[in-house]
Amino acid sequence: MEKETRWKLTFFTFWATQALSLFGSSLASFGLIWWITESTGSATILATISLGSLLPGVLFGPLAGVLVDRFNRKKIIIFSDSVSAFLALILVALFWTNSIQLWHIYVINILRALAGTVQFPAMQSSTSLMVPKEQLARISGLNQALQGLMMIATPPLGALLVSLLPLHSILGIDVFSAAIATLLLLAIRIPQPAIVQTITASTVWQDMRAGFSFLVRRPALLSVMCIAALLNLMLTPAFTLVPILVTQHFDGSAMQLGWMNAAYGLGIIGGGTILAVWGGFKRRILTALLGVTGLGIGSFLIGISPSNAFGMALIGMVTVGIMNAFANGPFFVILQTIVPSEIQGRVFTTLMSVSMGMAPVGLAIAGPLADWFGVQLWFVLGALVCGLMAIWIILSPALLNLEAGTVPSTTPMESAVK
């Protein structure tokens, strides 16, 4: 009982710091996206700014995984939060002095994404060491519910703040919340795997190869990566362009955008809560299959919503939110369960780099296509891809039995880098 109390106290303190930081970032992101939408009205600009936030993870993800596996993960998270807060402070100054230019946002967005490239795998791999394996599915559901809560709370609050405050004041909330979260994180002990801090160009290359090798030797994990890549190709651009959908198709304002985001968040809370209480099917891949299928249904509803049927699009967003929790949560738990902790950083970032590598391609195509034919076309195409991915899972014995086999902790190459 004492051991259970100890891990819960440590983990949930850690969890609370990240929730606080996420709250500030969500408010700032809403205000910034609405400013860009109002200032430019361009799907292409919104897509290219999102593209800039994705490229660092795609290009530097494998290197970030090496750093996460070799260095103190707590210090990595603190460093990432601190850099993001400092960059947000620069944005505050630029908006405050009316010196802001669009290229400033591009550059700062890329730099913040670069800092976040090491933060996410550090958080995920730390969680697997702090939480008992039998509780990981529930924690994953809780994380999904947290994201949903943020999406419900921050859009209406963000829309209200946009109408009451200058943007630099909203961005200042992000700086303040990140600073408080960092100070709290200093008092937490985060367990570390056995790490080797001696690092050279040779060991970096070997470590990056080890992460890739772990994936290519396991066809089921390669299939997961390919499915994630194709879903990112279609769905990331679609949901990035929701502000354009609201303003140009539904003739809405910041409040309607807030409702769309809140509907998505409500769905994630519902799905995450169900997942946290239920834990999903015993075979987690079946929960993920349900989620991928539901993502297609929700996207299709949004894609076919007439301009006078905003409520239909809201139902689609709620559906996507619920099913997003079902799709993402189980996949992360499967990886946390079958991938040894000492190589999780490299495997997570390699998988994310390859899978997210398709999102920039989608954004590069979707921006101009949405300007020409409307955003809804991309939602319909995304629904079609979700259906095809669900069929892939059903017809793949390797995927359906992903958790059944034992995964050796190392392969010959992976042993060579330790």
Phi/psi zone of residue 149: left (φ > 0), alpha (ψ -120 to 50 degrees), beta?
alpha
- pLDDT value for 417: 36
Per-residue pLDDT tens over the stretch 287-303: 889 999 999 999 999 99
Name the nearest CA neighbour of 124 among 388, 410, 341, 397: 341
Give the residue ranges of the chain where pLDDT is below 70. Answer: 1-5, 43, 57-58, 61-62, 64-65, 137, 141, 144-145, 147-148, 151-152, 155, 193-211, 341-342, 344-345, 404-418
Amino acid 93: pLDDT: 92
Per-residue model confidence (pLDDT) at position 116? 78
Q: What is the pLDDT of residue 319?
A: 94
Residue 282, classified by CB atoms within 10 Å of its CB into exposed (0-12), middle (13-18) or buried (19+), is exposed
pLDDT of residue 372: 80
Q: What is the pLDDT of residue 411?
A: 40
The model's pTM is: 0.60
The CATH number given to whatever domain includes residue 276 is 1.20.1250.20
Check: CB of residue 193 under 8 Å from CB of residue 328.
Answer: no
408 conformational bin, left if phi > 0, alpha if psi -120 to 50, beta if neither: beta
In Å, how far are 182, 222, 275, 383 from 294, measured between CA atoms?
Answer: 37, 23, 15, 9
Structure-token match 């200058």, residue found: 166
**Is residue 404 packed enough to be buried (19+ CB in 10 Å), middle (13-18) or exposed (0-12)?**
exposed
Structural domain including 194 reads 2-416
Detail the DSSP E strand segments found in 89-240. Answer: none
The continuous run of DSSP H or E covering 175 comes out as helix 167-185
pLDDT tens string 78-107: 888 888 889 889 999 999 998 888 888 888
Predicted confidence at residue 300, as pLDDT, reads 95
Domain count, the chain: 1
What is the separation of C-alpha 265 from the centre of its chain, rounded to a whole number of angstroms? 14
201 burial type by CB count under 10 A (0-12 exposed, 13-18 middle, 19+ buried) = exposed
Q: Contact 347/335 with Cβ under 8 angstroms? A: yes
* Nearest of 256, 304, 361 to residue 37 by alpha carbon: 256
What's the confidence (pLDDT) of residue 297? 95
Q: Output the pLDDT for position 154.
A: 73
